Amino acid sequence: MALTAADVARLGELARIRLTDDELAHLAPQLDVILESVASVAAVAAADVPPTSHALPLTNVFRADVVTPSLRAEDVLAAAPAVEDGRFRVPRILAEES
């Protein structure tokens, strides 16, 4: 099932990571080796074995609907890459033509 550099570029796109050509060439064979070794899980994963997503039996956790202290806006914005008028400034979110 050898992954090609193009496959890895596509996965990078899905994961929002721009990979260089060097990275693609380097990653593809490494990922192949890893995927080949982890494929062994299928050998024992019989149909009658239930999956475990979590170590603990989880139930949804609710808290009372009351106002509790939260972070101050200026403390949060202090860590932002760009700020304008007391808000996060982000690059345009729509394409020029669509």
Partner 1 sequence: MSILRSTAADLAGSIAAGDVSAREVTQAHLDQIGAVDGAVKAFLHVDTDRALAAADAVDAKRAAGEKLGPLAGVPLAMKDIFTLKGAPTTCGSRILEGWVPPYNSTITDKLLDAGVVVLGKTNMDEFAMGSSTENSGYFTTHNPWDNTRIPGGSGGGSAAALAAFESPLAVGTDTGGSIRQPASVTGTVGVKPTYGATSRYGVVAMASSLDTPGPCARTVLDAALLHSVIAGWDPRDSTSINAPVPDVVGAARHGDVRGLKIGVVTEFGGEGYQPGVEQRFREALATLEGLGAEIVEVSCPHFEYALAAYYLIMPSEVSSNLARFDAMRYGLRVGDDGVNGVEDVMNLTRGAGFGSEAKRRIIIGTYALSSGYYDAYYGSAQKVRTLITRDFDAAFGTVDVLVSPTTPTTAFTIGERVDDPLAMYKADLCTIPSNLAGNCAISIPCGLSPDDGLPVGFQVMAPALADDRLYRVGAALERELTRRWGGGMLDQLADSDAGAYLNLSQAGGVR
- Structure-derived torsion over alpha carbons of residues 63, 65, 70, 72, reported in degrees to the nearest 10: 160
User: Within 10 Å of residue 8's Cβ, how many Cβ atoms?
Assistant: 21
Binding to partner 1 in span 77-96, by CB under 8 A: 78-82, 88, 90-95
Q: Is 56 in the site for partner 1 (CB under 8 A)?
A: yes
# residues contacting partner 1 (CB under 8 A): 57
**Least separation in angstroms between CB 26 and partner 1:** 8
Place of tokens 């394409």: 95
User: Looking at this protein, which amino acid is placed at residue 14?
Assistant: L
- Spatial distance between the Cα atoms of 47 and 19, rounded to a whole number of angstroms: 38
Query: Is the Cβ–Cβ distance between 31 and 3 less than 8 Å?
Result: yes
DSSP state of 79: T
Binding map of partner 1 across residues 8-47, x = CB under 8 A, - = no contact: x--xxxxxxxxxx--x--xx--xx-xxx-xxxxxxxxxx-
Minimum CB distance to partner 1, residue 67 (Å): 15
The footprint of partner 1 (CB under 8 A) covers 3, 8, 11-20, 23, 26-27, 30-31, 33-35, 37-46, 49-56, 58, 61, 63, 71-72, 75-76, 78-82, 88, 90-95
